[in-house]
Amino acid sequence: MLHILLRVIAARLRKGSAAGAQARFRAVSSIHRFGASLNRHIHCRCCIIDGG
C-alpha cells in the first residue's frame, strides 16, 4: 500500500515539474499501529521532499 502511495506521488511531482522524468524525490515513512489510547489504529505517516 505504501509503495503505491509513493509511486503516485512521484508521478504527480514529475508531471508538475519542469525537470520532467529527471525530477527526484525522497521520502521517509513509518507505520503506526496504535492510537493515543492504545487502540488498534494502523496508518502511515510520510515526510516527502521534492527535488524538482
pLDDT at residue 52 tops 60: no
Q: Annotate 13-42 with DSSP letters as a single string.
A: HHHHSTTGGG--EEEEEEEEEE-TTS-EEE
- Nearest Cα to Cα of residue 31 among 52, 17, 45: 45
The DSSP secondary-structure symbol of 4 reads H
Tens-digit pLDDT profile for residues 1-45:
778 888 888 888 888 777 777 777 788 888 888 777 777 878 788
Q: What integer pLDDT is reported at residue 46 of this predicted model?
A: 83
Q: For 50, left (φ over 0), alpha (ψ -120 to 50), or beta? A: beta
